[in-house]
Structure 1
Amino acid sequence: MKSAIALGRAPGATLVAQYVRMSTDQQQYSIANQCACLAAYAASHGMHIVESYRDDGRSGLDLGGRPGLQRLLDEVRRSPRFEAVLVFDVSRWGRFQNADESAFYEYLCLTHGVRVIYVAEPFGDGQSPMAVLLKGLKRSMAAEYSRELSAKVSAGQRRLTSMGYRMGGAPGYGLRRMVVDAKGERRGVLQPGERKSYPTDRVTLVPGPADEVATVRWIFEQSAAGVPTDHITRRLNLVSTQRRWTKTAVRSMLCNDKYMGVNTYGRFTQVLKHRLSSQPEDTWTRSPGAFEPIVSPELFLKAKAARQKRCAAVSDSDALAALRRLLREHGQLTCGLIARSPSVPSPQLYMRRFGSLRRAYELIGYVPARDISFGEKKERIAVWRDSVTAFAVDLLTDAGSAVRRSGWTMTVDDAWSVAFQLLQASKDHRRWKWRVPAVSRPADLIIFIRMAPDASAPLDYLVLPSNASPAWPALITEQPDVSARFFMFPSLAILLDLAALSRG
């Protein structure tokens, strides 16, 4: 959030902005306290606050979820009317898990003539060796606090799971969330979107309406009797008027042991804003008998065994024959179409059997038209990677830097390195987009060359520090958002600025 501060300006006062952040909605006084401290500092140092940027209830782990900081950095790049940014302390600037990422954003402000002043820190905006050392220590401490807190929260959630309490998420069809107090007494059922009122309350699962419970049991009974998932899905849709069933939903239900009363935590983790990842089963925390079961353990395991037997019974030739029938019926094949078709095995089966959907397509002689176009453009833009890398080498060499090239990576003045990657456009719902891939760390900077949709020429350059990869934008659209624009440059002139610094 950005707002202008309408205060009287003292003659000769330094124009500054302020940035404030609180982590949770419960810290209702945090923003006010920070603003009071920043205002007092500004008054005592001959400063006038002209802009205010704030992030309410925002985690400091990355840049992606902080529109206030994104707008501040975007303004810094566009001729700001302030000379400095006041921040309460290093932790309010961010608890970035890589301390270099925090330093990178501060450095970008500095290169555009804007100082970052931490008013509650002893070093303020100092750049002396001792100040730089202390600032780095504070950044590491801010990051470590989040890591320690994450570990404590995870341990607490595992303990509560083992006690039979639900750790969040939708209850699932046939189940409802029940609030219980500290003594285990039931308070009532939570409706969708509702949250418990007291911190000491806990949530458990209970059977839902009788008709939903009966449907869940019927699904398990059918599966245990050997009825394929697609047949079950078709029968459900013939009689259901409340919802549209899919094979994925039915399969997910049949695989979830909460229906036999088991409380499970840790199937997937997303620690400190990193990507969601599945975890091995031996790391899960499980509490059998935590909930009132809808189906018995015997029925659950019988249905599981029947599904495994059915999957093994589908031969490769049968699976490919089903794909051919679907192709004849619709004239094309997509992952979503396969998943929605009851008479065709799941996309996951094709991936397990043949390595990928593309390989399964090849075996039945199907070539998606979009993939042909994409492949042609990929070949067309390949030459640009070498061309841009060669141009960058010449550009920096002419400027006086010592440049060593190895493939698409170059080392500048033996001080820093940069690697070049291509971003190819793809179309989704009539809009062009560019996906930014995760890459190993081949250099200090990764420059992604964003190519035009027709692969004719580069549009611009996305310059990203490799040590801040968790904060990289995952997707660039035709109208990039602030977090992406901050890293985008119309030319490679930024390399000249960086090289000038490395040459001293």
Structure 2
Amino acid sequence: MANALVVRKGTNLARRLRTQRAAQYVRMSRELQRYSIENQRAAIAAYAAADGLTVVRTYEDQGRSGLRIKGRPGLIELIEDVQSGEADFDQILVYDVSRWGRFQDTDESAYYEFLCKMNGVRVVYCAEIFKNDGSFLSGMAKYMKRGMAAEWSRELGVKVHTGHCRIASLGYRVGGPVGYGLRRMMVDESEHPKGQLEKGQYKALQSDRVRLRQGSAEEAAVIRCIFDQFVNERQSYSEIRRALNDANIANHNGRPWTDGMIPIILGNENYIGKTVYNRTSRRLGERLVKNPAHAWVHGTAAIEPIVDPDIFARAQKLLAERRVEIPEDEMLMRLRVVLRRRGKLNSRIINTTLGLNHVSSYVKHFGSLRKAYSLIGYVSPRDCNWLDTYDHWASEQARHANELAEILRADLGLKPEVAQGGIALDVGGTRLVSFLVARRLATRGPNHAPQWKAYRRQISSGLLAVMRLDATNKTIEDYVLLPSKLRAGRYVWLSSGSLARHHGVHCPGMSELITAVTASLAASNHAAPTTSDPQNSPAKRGRSKARSGSGRR
């Protein structure tokens, strides 16, 4: 019995072993290079070794701001694991209070720590001079540290904004992407060009600056044509947009034009050689706000004007005449009048009725069209519950795309890239397959065949993997694989009798869909390595093939 293990009554061996296990949370924002992930890991490892702890799990947020929990998947996963009871550790090791977060409301930082404490997991700040033991001094120190972290972010935001305003007043470009027909040129302190910045690229040194330059001559001609059609020919936004898309002219993102892009072009002062900064601002992750005209920062862009200043001034006058501010009460009153006259409301009626704001204006003021309807006591006969599940089905599309990507990498040796907002797969700039969700429409009677409707967006190439929902539109009933050679249109209409006409393949489950996709790719030689020029592919994708919305197919 001398070598026997003696366990005292009431001792929980599993918990005693678990107390030696810890998780670490590390975070680094873009502007805090001295708080690198490696430095935090090293400090946490030294602390764990001194206390006899074993780090069994790591939660990481790299390049993430600490102002809020949104956009920090590492911290979100950590809180979810702790609350679900799946955490196999009793301590969370963090470098210091600021790495936990620079929340502008210090109570929010304390709330997330309290959630961990309530579920039996203690948060430990390794580099702080105080011990997080729940004492009075510890509480006071944490409160001060949280306030200091929040205040540091506020002061930094003011300094950065002031610096941006000064740089913009000198005529330099402040910000990321530019509009159509413009380029960003990086220059040094002596104004010597150092190279053109493409989309997603940033200047290398803080001493470098960014100047605006004209794009191609073709783009400049398109800009002048837009101003001429609007000012001299008095065409509407829709007419200008339709002419651009019919001519297969892509916008600066390589995609078809929309109505909302036209007034942005018409109001851009860069086209007359000027820069305007601070029209809008967003401080410390808050909502975007419009600043008054006296707060705008004007500068000379040192760029040759693309548009004649006289035509630009006439365009601004026409834009001002088109924009009429109507109070929200007046907007709702006019909507009630139209409802009494027409007996119903929908987007088409609102957009085509004189005196009513555009649908987008109602959405902007009231949050959604359904909210505006409820304020005037109108219940739309349309099934709007589908809108509430948009985020769920978007995540399902992304999950299906990622699952198919893994299969294509393993079985066919392809290197697919997730595109189109996470619902499509590309290889070498060529669209392979896109996932769509088709909701089932209400049938008029038992003798009518079921029909499905899927929003096609601007997808005009590649296979279409359609997920058809059941009668409740809550679960996936089956799948349909359609070829890319469908008639162009915003929507895809499906029924049990239209598959043969569309040359579609019915797939009862995901495994059958994957088999059909791989067979189709192999048959069309997509499985071979692509030799397409990636530089030309964005322009090809941007050409609009949809010249008119077709009806039911």
TM range (shorter): 0.5 to 0.7
**Residue number in structure 1 paired with 2:39:** 33
Residue of structure 2 equivalent to 1:235: 243
One-letter code of the match for 1:428?
Y
Greater shift, 77-86 or 109-118, is seen at 77-86
2: CA distance, partners of 1:253 / 1:151? 30
- Whichever residue aligns with residue 65 of structure 1, its letter is G
Q: How does 1:111-130 map to 2 (within 5 A)?
A: 111-130=118-137
1:264-306, Cα deviation, whole Å (9 max, x unpaired): 1112222111122222222221214543321132211112223
Corresponding position of 2:270: 258
Q: For residues 303 and 44 of structure 1, what CA distance do their matches in structure 2 show?
A: 70
Structure 1 residue 103 displacement after superposition: 0.5
Q: Relative contact order: is structure 1 or structure 2 higher (C-alpha 8 Å, sep ≥ 6)?
A: 1
Residues 87 and 119 in structure 1, CA contact (< 8 A), matched pair in contact too: yes
2:314 aligns with 302
Distance of 2:59 and 2:372 partners within structure 1:
52
For 2:138 and 2:91, the matched residues in 1 are separated by 18
> How does 1:4-19 map onto structure 2 within 5 Å?
14-19=20-25
Structure 1 pair 236–16 and aligned structure 2 pair: CA distance change class (3 A): closer
Match of 2:347 among 334, 337, 347: 334
AA of the residue aligned to 1:49: V
Pair 1:44-2:57 in alignment: no
Q: Residue 164 of structure 1 contacts residue 287 of structure 1 at CA under 8 Å; is this kept in 2?
A: yes
- More divergent stretch after superposition (222-231 vs 344-353): 344-353
Of 271, 274, 294, which aligns to 2:283? 271
CA distance in 2, matches of 1:58, 1:226: 49
Distance 1:200 1:261, change over 3 A: same
Structure 1 residues 289 and 168: alpha-carbon distance in aligned structure 2, compared to 1, 3 A threshold: closer
1:366-392 CA distance string (max 9 Å, x none): 974237x67xxxxxxxxxxxxxxxxxx
How far apart are residue 357 of structure 1 and its match? 6.7
**Which residue of 2 is the match for residue 169 of structure 1?**
176
CA displacement, residues 101-133 of structure 1 (integer Å, 9 cap, x when unaligned):
111111111111111111111222121112111
| Residues 38 and 98 (structure 1), Cα distance of their counterparts in 2 relative to 1, 3 Å cut | same
Which of 193, 196, 200 lines up with 2:200 in the alignment?
193
Alignment of 1:136-151 (within 5 A): 136-151=143-158
Counterpart in the other structure of 1:460: none
* Conservation of the 8 A alpha-carbon contact between 1:13 and 1:48: no
Contact 1:96 1:143 in 2 (8 A): yes
TM-score by length of 2: 0.57
Tell me: CA distance 1:151–1:349, structure 2 relative to 1, closer, same or farther (3 Å).
Answer: closer
Secondary structure of 1:55's aligned partner: strand
Q: Matches of 1:52 and 1:215 in 2, distance apart? A: 52
Note the C-alpha offset of 1:254: 0.7
> Cα distance, 1:430 vs. partner?
8.3
Decide whether aligned partners of structure 1 residues 175 and 41 sit closer, same or farther in structure 2, where only a CA change above 3 A counts.
Answer: same
Cα distance change of structure 1 residues 300 and 354 upon mapping to structure 2, 3 Å threshold: farther
1:181 to 2:194 alignment: no
Whether 1:54 and 2:42 are equivalent positions in the alignment is: no
Instruction: Describe the superposition over 1:206-259 as per-residue Cα deviations: whole angstroms up to 9, x where unpaired.
Output: 111001101111211222215122333333333334453322111211122221
C-alpha deviation, 1:144, in angstroms: 0.5
Answer yes or no: is 1:159 the counterpart of 2:166.
yes
Residue 335 and residue 256 in structure 1: after superposition, are their counterparts in 2 closer, same or farther (change >3 A)? farther
Deviation at 1:428, TM superposition (A): 3.3
Structure 1 residues 473-504: Cα deviation after superposition (integer angstroms, max 9, x where no partner): xxxxx99xxxxxxxxxxxxxxxxxxxxxxxxx
Give me the whole-angstrom Cα distance separating, in 1, the residues matched to 2:19 and 2:357: 71
Unmatched 5+ stretches in structure 1? 1-9, 375-423, 434-477, 480-504
Q: CA 1:215–1:345 in 2, change beyond 3 Å: closer, same or farther?
A: farther
- 8 Å CA contact 1:255, 1:304 repeated in 2: yes
* Kept in 1: contact 2:19–2:91 (CA 8 A): no
> Which secondary structure state, in structure 2, belongs to the residue aligned with residue 194 of structure 1?
coil
1:94 match: 101
Cα-Cα RMSD: 4.1
Paired residues of 2:350 and 2:357 also in contact (CA < 8 A): no
Given candidates 205, 216, 229, the residue that maps to 1:209 is 216
CA distance in 2, matches of 1:353, 1:60: 30
- In the alignment, residue 311 of structure 2 is paired with which amino acid? L
Q: Which residue of 1 aligns with 2:471?
A: none
Do the aligned partners of 2:351 and 2:359 also contact (CA within 8 Å) in 1? yes
Q: Within 5 Å, which residues of 2 pair with 1:343-422?
A: 346-347=358-359, 368-370=380-382
CA distance in 2, matches of 1:335, 1:273: 36
- Given the superposition, is the C-alpha separation of residues 311 and 278 from structure 1 closer, same or farther in structure 2, using an over 3 Å criterion? closer
Q: How many residues align?
A: 359
Secondary structure, in 3 states, of the residue corresponding to 2:305? coil
1:408-447 map, 5 Å: 426-428=388-390, 431=393
Query: Structure 2: how far apart are the matches of 1:309 and 1:284?
Result: 22
> Residues 357 and 69 (structure 1 numbering): CA distance in 2 closer, same or farther, change over 3 Å?
closer
- 2:30 and 2:367 mapped to 1: Cα distance? 44
AA aligned opposite 1:232: I
For structure 2, the residue ranges without an aligned partner over 5 or more in a row are 1-15, 325-330, 396-473, 476-553
Cα pair distance change 1:279/1:36, threshold 3 Å: same
| Distance across 1 between alignment mates of 2:180 and 2:58 | 46
Cα deviation, residue 53, structure 1: 1.5
Counterpart for residue 291 of structure 1: 303
The letter of the residue matching 1:234 is R
Provide closer, same or farther for how the CA distance between residues 223 and 13 of structure 1 changes in structure 2, counting only shifts above 3 A: closer
Using the alignment, how far apart are the partners of 2:52 and 2:349 within structure 1?
62
Partner of 2:91: 84
Give the Cα–Cα distance (whole angstroms) in 1 for the partners of residues 174 and 31 of structure 2: 20
